[in-house]
Amino acid sequence: MLDGRRAAVLDFTGTGLDVDEKRVPLYLVVARIVAVSGIGFASAFALFLFVAGVWQLGLVALAITALFVFLMFLIERQPAEEKER
């Protein structure tokens, strides 16, 4: 019934979805993990520095958080551009 390369998967609505259409490239998965982890660590470090009263370094950590948020925006835009081609 299923040939190993392609399989029909039922989602919650009961419609058949093609597994090949839902695959995300490995580099995007790794980039998302790095971006989300970077956002978490940098923002937590910024909050720690703000509470400690070290405002200058806290602002640097907040800027790094913004950099990771921008990186996440670029990463999430990538699959949409590939789908349009």
Q: What are the extents of the domains in the chain?
A: 24-84
pLDDT tens readout for residues 42-76: 999 999 999 999 999 999 999 999 999 999 999 98
- Are 47 and 62 within 8 A, CB to CB? no
pTM, two decimals, is 0.67
* Residue burial 34-69, b: 16+ Cβ < 10 Å; e: rest: ebeebbeebbebbeebeeeeeeeebeebbebbeebe
Range among 4-18, 21-35, 52-66 with highest mean pLDDT value? 52-66
